[in-house]
Structure 1
Amino acid sequence: MSAPARLDAALRFPASRTIAAGLRPETGDSPRAGAGNSLRLWREAVDIRQEWLGHALCTDPADRLTAERALARIYARIGRPVPRFRWVDSPHAALPYLDGLPTIDDLYQVIRRPGSVSPPLASDLAMAASGLRGALSASVDRGDPELAPARPPKSKNPWPMLPPRDALAAGTPLNVVLHRSVHGALQRSIATGFRQPIHAALAPGRRLPVCWYGQHDVPWIGYYDMLRRVGLARYQPGPLDQFADWVDLARSCGWWWPGERVCVLTERPETLRTEPIPGAWHDEVRLRPGGVAYRDGWHPLLH
């Protein structure tokens, strides 16, 4: 089957692709949700977190066909035709192709003055992604701390910050411990430890167009995947199928900038060297000085 034919088949039969990706709709009550073995579930969650950390730090060449298929479906869901895909070797190499794409300030302008301008594609995409995360969150057993901060009964303060085993022993709810151990840990390792410094090195003092991060979107993707796999979330088929596309992107490519006609995608880094963050409770890592290099020779953070 040719690549265009495979892409057309993927668009017309999303459910079969969801199953192939290992994401199946949940039916009935989860046998794991009421098991009460919090420590065992936490250990499983840590294994899944480390799996997703591996995807975030992967240096294999991008799986371009998988990424393009996923983006074609994401575009279709917001009523846009399949764009032309332009691949580059690094975020720095993407800069010449980003003129005219909206910044975060442009998206806020759409929110502040609805109807004054036509929403750009990035605005519709951000709304769709936000809606997906809300749907996933609403399907989490015992409540989702990502949706609203969890606090002890009759208290305005959050649950105390403790190492995971100590937190469970002290009565901190499992959902709070898992949120901190997975979402929080991946956020510190990937968003704070990688995305932010690379973004700052990419265009110092300049507002860049809105982008998404592929493999570096794993904090929220890995978190909701973990909840499903340990049996603490039962996602409906529609949101689950949408989620599968974001899972595919996180497993297949680097950063990407969506435009109406062209979507710019980057390869994954060629080299990534990290080190443990001293004193961390959740195996967080950070880039070593000069620890990242891309296939076109771009070496941000050389010092």
Structure 2
Amino acid sequence: MSDLVQREAAAIREQWLGQALSTLPADRPAAEAAISELYRLIGLPPPRFRWVPSPVAGLTTVPPGARVRESVERMADWPVPGRFAALVRELRKELDARIRPAQEPIDRLIHQTVLFPLSRSVSTTLVPPLQAAHDGPFRQDWYGLQHWVVRYDALRQVAGVAFTGPQLEQLGLWATLAASCGWWWPRESVCVVSERPVAMHTEVWGDDGEVRLHCADGPAVRYADGWDLHYWHGTRVPPWVITDPDVRRIADEANVEVRRCAIEHLGWASYIERAGLRLVASAPDPGNPGSELHLYDMHRGTRVLLAVNGSVERDGRRRRYGLTVPGFLDDPIDAAGWTYGLSAAQYSLLLRRT
């Protein structure tokens, strides 16, 4: 595969990622026109539109004209999303028929360099707020329908696949919708559409440019109605983890992941000092030459192993991190081996851990 093709694919990925993470106001006329035409394609008249400032607003209000069977609690049984899903399945079948064998290698490249990293980025940036708004399990039957558009857009631009007529027109409707608004909930007579967030903070974390939610000094996602969410390196946390990660709150926190994030934000060295943790033992790290392992006594019958990452971070530094280990471990090397499922002797034979 030529370097030019790979660069074009990467550019398309960045273009769509930029649209997905946009914090610009929705293009309401474009979104409503596209949705109205899609309703027509499934045999329904254009719906009335109810715009909401955030996903949580979309799920906590019942728009005028909504029917009893279209309540949020029965969302999985709504009839319109199923009809849209069938429409998309038929369109994709027709679009796939236009792909020639000679174009399949580029299709595989697009999956690898465009779709996979893009879908991972979407799952770690746009889906978490939706999950938080639902406050429980939910089905993504129609939420994810727009992501497939990227594949065909890339095939058209990079591989020269010719999509024409009604196929191209419908593909354009889905592409317009994906680029013009936030999440949307189609009912039979009314469609609820969410605005995009007004702020979104992310960090690059994958080898292929994937991103995830992260903000060290405030909400990672914020909507115009004030609904916001805090994330620490992709993990959703209570606001105090970002605004006031003090030792008392950390000690009282039952969730291990939240506690870890709070300690990382505070800094392990600062946390150990403020919490007055007792040093049990230290030793050179045989899995990471030049670094040391420190084993500290914690609360609740556990201990924490403070180590240095064997891999260099994007900023050129090696991150210090702590791992919770059982309280019966007294030797830092035993503790390090335990985290890998190895004995101390086996861990000592590692050339370099990562």
Name the SS for the 1:265 alignment partner. strand
Whole-Å Cα distance in 2 between the matches of residues 209 and 219 of structure 1? 12
Which of 106, 110, 120 is 2:77 aligned to? Answer: 106
Q: Kindly tell me: are residues 262 and 105 of structure 1, through their superposed partners in 2, closer, same or farther at Cα, counting changes over 3 Å?
A: closer
CA contact (8 A) 2:85 2:142 kept: no
Shift of 1:141: 3.2
Task: Note the alpha carbon deviations across 1:251-280, whole angstroms, 9 max, x for none.
Answer: 110000001110000101100111001xx3
For structure 2, the residue ranges without an aligned partner over 5 or more in a row are 232-236, 238-354
CA contact (8 A) 2:84 2:142 kept: no
Whole-Å Cα distance in 2 between the matches of residues 209 and 39 of structure 1? 35
Whole-Å Cα distance in 1 between the matches of residues 147 and 139 of structure 2? 22
Where does 1:188-227 land on structure 2 (aligned, <5 Å)? 188-190=120-122, 192-207=123-138, 211-212=142-143, 219-227=147-155
Shift of 1:72: 0.7
TM-score (ref. length: structure 1)? 0.67
Q: Kindly tell me: are residues 144 and 204 of structure 1, through their superposed partners in 2, closer, same or farther at Cα, counting changes over 3 Å?
A: farther
Match of 1:79 in 2: 43
Match of 1:127 in 2: 86
Name the SS for the 1:198 alignment partner. helix
CA contact (8 A) 1:184 1:219 kept: no
Shift of 1:197: 1.6
Whole-Å Cα distance in 1 between the matches of residues 141 and 120 of structure 2? 21
CA contact (8 A) 2:107 2:155 kept: no
TM-score (ref. length: structure 2)? 0.58
Matched, 1:250 2:178: yes
Matched, 1:55 2:19: yes
CA contact (8 A) 1:274 1:288 kept: yes
CA contact (8 A) 1:142 1:175 kept: no
Whole-Å Cα distance in 1 between the matches of residues 12 and 94 of structure 2? 21
Answer with 77-86 or 128-137: which moved more.
128-137
Larger Rg computed on CA atoms: 2
Task: Report the aligned-residue RMSD.
Answer: 2.4
Matched, 1:179 2:117: no
CA contact (8 A) 2:85 2:141 kept: no
Match of 2:101 in 1: 142
Whole-Å Cα distance in 2 between the matches of residues 55 and 218 of structure 1? 12
Which of 163, 166, 183 is 1:235 aligned to? Answer: 163
Whole-Å Cα distance in 1 between the matches of residues 153 and 11 of structure 2? 12
CA contact (8 A) 1:293 1:299 kept: yes
CA contact (8 A) 2:131 2:138 kept: no
Q: Kindly tell me: are residues 94 and 286 of structure 1, through their superposed partners in 2, closer, same or farther at Cα, counting changes over 3 Å?
A: same
Bigger RCO of structures 1 and 2 (CA < 8 A, at least 6 apart): 1
Match of 2:294 in 1: none
Match of 1:70 in 2: 34
Name the SS for the 2:38 alignment partner. helix
More strand by share: 2
Identity of aligned residues (%): 38
Task: Note the alpha carbon deviations across 1:68-115, whole angstroms, 9 max, x for none.
Answer: 0001100001100011000000000011227633757537xxxxxxxx
Answer with 60-69 or 39-48: which moved more.
39-48
Match of 2:210 in 1: 284
Task: Note the alpha carbon deviations across 1:25-77, whole angstroms, 9 max, x for none.
Answer: xxxxxxxxxxxx53211111111110111100111101100000001100001
Shift of 1:231: 3.0
Between the two proteins, the alignment pairs up a number of residues equal to 222
